Amino acid sequence: MRDAKQIDSLWLGADIVTLRDGRYNIITDGALAVDNGVLIWVGARSELPAFAPRQRHTFSGGIITPGLVDCHTHLLFAGDRSAEFEQRLNGASYAEIAAQGGGILATVRATRSASQEALVASARGRLAHLLAEGVTTVEIKSGYGLDEESELKMLRAIRQLAAGVPADVIATCLAAHAIPPAFHANPQGWIDIICQRLLPRVKEEGLADAVDAFCEHLALSPAQVSAVFDAARALDLPVKLHAEQLSAQGGAALAARYGALSADHLEYASEEDVRAMAEHGTVAVLLPGAFYLLRETQRPPVALFRRYGVPMALASDANPGTSPALSLRLMMNMGCTLFGMTPEEALAGVTLWGAKALGLQQTHGSLEAGKVASFVHWPLTRPGELAYWLGGELPCRVIYRGEAQ
């Protein structure tokens, strides 16, 4: 048609699960119009405007969801901590393993010794599993370097990895993951290095999109976290926090007062924490993989998050020690079976609210005109199946920024 608008591609023949406003909001027999990697129209096929697509793709049923967002991972590391899994099953606690030189510090030693190229190669292999299941946006943290140059090496490796994969990769500086052994007698010395030297270099080189910390009795105190957040805020870097995983430290409320994008884990979050998160727009990122592997019994307060309207994201927390999880769909199931989320909440948690936890909700996480054209076709009859099936890789077709993968 002479008056039809030329576009790159048109995608038809499936129901569209838009996740607009965090609800399924299904469009039966929908259509997606894509140009320059962006959605320019989303709606029912019967209402499709006059487009002249260069490519037309028609599915035989099924559903289309936004590309999945894994908003909390530690995918980049070296070494192997499977032996700690056996130790825990034989009765050792997370804290006991850490006191023996295991835990985070075991991965730190291996990561410091690895080259940037080796870190990229190993992380690419782990990331491939997530991408095969429909992940199109993933956050990756540093935090296993715990000295200035090793942390920078990790962040550079994350940027290098991002340049070679069909996904949007968000880098987070987690130098405040733990106090390195060399600073056990002077923990403020490591905090000063982070605040005065490392974060300014990270900002200058554009190596991170956000700053994270671990607020816990075996990591950083609230006062130490505050110092790191003050430095990040002075550099205009968004913050987020590992909070209330193993004990109640008031970290979630602290993070919220700093306008944190998210507070993550949250098994021991109080009503005061939740109220502060609601007031400041901080997303609750729930991580059932670590809860499961550590055999915890204290569940995050899902009912409180609902009552106060705090968005709940879900993530893999993929890491070598406490959540060796390479399936975001499995985390959806665990969010439902272990934490009591609904399948709709779980899907919103790995799409719109996962995007919000990264500060990307205006461009990612739902299928709406103006957002990136990253979406997934699934040969399923209803979206609840994504949280239902255990194991295996559901067949899917991933479209990243308008291009089929």
Query: Where is the binding site for N-formimidoyl-L-glutamate, in residues?
Result: 144, 319, 321
Beta strands in 36-148 (DSSP E): 38-44, 51-58, 63-66, 68-70, 135-141
Largest CA distance in the chain: 75
Name the binding residues for 4-imidazolone-5-propanoate: 81, 144, 177, 245, 322
Q: What is the distance, to the nearest Å, from the Cα of residue 373 to the centroid of all Cα atoms in its chain?
A: 19
Q: Please say whether the beta carbons of 267 and 299 come within 8 A.
A: yes
Query: What distances in angstroms separate CA 263 from CA 216, 252, 255, 278, 368, one per listed residue?
Result: 13, 6, 7, 11, 27
Q: What are phi and psi of 389, to 5 degrees?
A: -70, 135
Residues that constitute the known binding site? 72, 74, 81, 144, 177, 242, 245, 317, 319, 321-322
Binding residues for Zn(2+): 72, 74, 242, 317
Q: CA of 66: how far to CAs of 18, 42, 371, in Å? A: 7, 12, 10
Closest alpha carbon to 383 in 335, 319, 323, 329: 329
Q: Which residues are annotated as a binding site for Fe(3+)?
A: 72, 74, 242, 317
Measured in degrees and rounded to the nearest 5, phi and psi for residue 74 equal -125, 50
What are the helix (H) ranges across 16-76? none
Amino acid at 389: W
Token representation of residue 196 = 């005065």
Q: Is there a contact between 17 and 347 (Cβ–Cβ < 8 Å)? A: yes
